[in-house]
Amino acid sequence: MAARIPVTLIPGDGIGPEVAEATLEVLEGVGAPLDFEWHTAGVAGLKKEGDPLPKATLESIRKTRLALKGPLATPVGGGFRSSNVRLREEFHLYANLRPARTLIPGGRYEKIDLVLVRENLEGLYVGFEHYIPIGDDPHAVALASGVNTRAGGRRINEFAFDYAVKHGRKKVTLVHKANVLKALTGLFLETGREVAKKYEGRIECDDRIIDACAMQLVMNPWQFDVIVTTNLFGDILSDLNAGLVGGLGMAPAGNIGADAAIFEAVHGSAPDIAGKGVANPLALILSAAMMLDHLGMQDKAKRVRDAIDHVLCVDKIRTGDLGGKASTKEFTKAIVSRVK
Ligand code: NAD
């Protein structure tokens, strides 16, 4: 019998526990030999352990080096720093892999199959920011610094080109704003072009300025294959890509680094629908399929994706965000019965 693999499970906040439960049912249905260690983070961590990133959670990931994570709520403006960002930093999860694939034909865009590789540790998300008070206004001026390094640029571009080779992709597009942020994103572009030379003849490479890229993704997304970009641009473009294939409910992600890998949905905790039993669990289920790929269980990952395609397109069972009427539980039940 195959050895069982320990995985840290963080159900998360808002709709997190609902979509995590659905995902566990599908993983069990497909017979994935995984043993989950349940932990908290985000608001749930703060409530249970008095810490949005409890020590026990970190220790578990240090041991398993693998986590499946629901969305974590982060206060806007003030409050604690994003536990997602801290997790990425703690485990050096430098690559954020966000595929977007059309699952339901007949939408605004057909046959989308894009992969976005986002640099996950540098850029404007390093959190070097502060206010300068003037007179009686404590927030008179806001300052933020971005940090990109040559080593970080090389690492993420190599990840993107390597991914393209391993997955039979043809082209990598480097996305930047080197016309204005000449140093910060110019360095990213420079390293991207250096890396591209090593893959000449195998992987085509071009580049786009972020604003033009956003427009072209809406006008003609099929011209793109793999996109690699810096942290902030990647965060924004991956939501755009999710929009091309029907919204956040279907967008999975993997945060991959040398020390660990954490798989999570792109969407947040969706407080507006939390507890109502209507959340679409697909994004986390698809993230779990990426985790199975990462573990070398491509056959099981394929079974999960095939079951999803069948339920959506043949059985036509869908959650409300996809125009259907199924609850989270009904939808999950349909996938589990197909995956078996
Ligand atoms: P959100 O993704 O939670 O919600 C945006 C909209 O999409 C909402 O209308 C929501 O109902 C809908 N939606 C999201 N996921 C859905 C699903 N699975 N099924 C059906 N509808 C879905 O974004 P937000 O409202 O900007 O953020 C809420 C919280 O989540 C914030 O605290 C934010 O910091 C956090 N967040 C966490 C992560 C993460 O943990 N990776 C990512 C993004 C946002």
- Write out residues with Cβ below 6 Å of ligand 1: 15, 19, 71-74, 84, 248-249, 264, 267-273, 279-280, 283, 321
Residue with the nearest Cα to atom 12 of ligand 1? 270
Q: What does pLDDT average to over the chain?
A: 95
**Residue 1 pLDDT greater than 80, yes or no:** no
Question: From the CA of 194, how far away is ligand 1's center (Å)?
Answer: 37
User: Cα-flanking dihedrals φ and ψ of residue 3, to 5°?
Assistant: -65, 145
Question: From the CA of 155, how far away is ligand 1's center (Å)?
Answer: 29
Q: State residue 85's pLDDT score.
A: 85
125 is catalytic: yes
Across residues 68-79, what is the average pLDDT?
A: 85
Q: Is 11 helix (H, G, I), strand (E, B) or coil?
A: coil
The residue with tokens 């786009």 is 208
Cβ contacts of 36 within 8 Å, gap of 6 or more:
6, 7, 8, 9, 24, 68
Which contacts of 97-101 are long-range, i.e. CB under 8 A and separated by 24 or more positions?
Answer: 97/163, 97/253, 97/254, 97/255, 97/256, 97/290, 98/234, 98/238, 98/241, 98/242, 98/251, 98/252, 98/253, 98/266, 99/252, 99/290, 100/238, 100/241, 100/242, 100/244, 100/245, 100/251, 101/245
Question: From the CA of 81, how far away is ligand 1's center (Å)?
Answer: 17
Q: How far apart are CA 211 and CA 217, in angstroms?
A: 10
Question: From the CA of 269, how far away is ligand 1's center (Å)?
Answer: 4
Across residues 329-337, what is the average pLDDT?
A: 98
Q: What tokens were used for 45?
A: 């961590």
Termini Cα distance of the chain: 19
Helices (H), the chain: 16-29, 42-49, 55-64, 83-90, 150-166, 184-198, 210-219, 231-244, 282-294, 298-313, 328-339
Across residues 196-201, what is the average pLDDT?
A: 98
Q: Look up the pTM and report it.
A: 0.91
Residue to substitute in 269, 272, 276 for testing ligand 1 pocket (most ligand atoms within 8 angstroms of CB)? 269
233-292: pLDDT as tens digits: 999 999 999 999 988 888 999 999 988 999 999 899 999 999 999 999 999 999 999 999
**Residue 77 pLDDT greater than 80, yes or no:** no
281-322: pLDDT as tens digits: 999 999 999 999 999 999 999 999 999 999 999 999 999 998
- For residues 119 and 102, is the Cβ–Cβ distance under 8 A? no
211 is catalytic: yes
Q: How far apart are CA 50 and CA 245, in angstroms?
A: 38
The residue with tokens 């040398």 is 258
| Catalytic residue (choose from 35, 137, 211, 259) | 211
**Closest atom, ligand 1, to C-alpha of 265:** 41
148-175: pLDDT as tens digits: 999 999 999 999 999 999 999 999 999 9
**Closest atom, ligand 1, to C-alpha of 279:** 19
Question: From the CA of 190, how far away is ligand 1's center (Å)?
Answer: 34
| Catalytic residue (choose from 13, 69, 163, 235) | 235
| Catalytic residue (choose from 13, 69, 125, 199) | 125
Question: What is the DSSP code (8-state) at residue 81?
Answer: P
94 is catalytic: no
- For residues 8 and 61, is the Cβ–Cβ distance under 8 A? yes
Tallying the residues shown for the chain, one arrives at: 340
Dihedral angle over CA of 293, 294, 297, 302, nearest 10: -10
**Residue 30 pLDDT greater than 80, yes or no:** yes
Question: From the CA of 14, how far away is ligand 1's center (Å)?
Answer: 9
239 is catalytic: no
83-115: pLDDT as tens digits: 998 999 899 999 999 999 999 988 889 999 999
SS3 assignment for 296-311? CCHHHHHHHHHHHHHH
User: Cα-flanking dihedrals φ and ψ of residue 229, to 5°?
Assistant: -155, 175
List the single range of 9-13, 133-137, 237-241 with lowest mean pLDDT.
237-241
From residue 294, give the alpha-carbon distance in Å to each of 59, 184, 297.
21, 31, 7
Q: State residue 2's pLDDT score.
A: 63
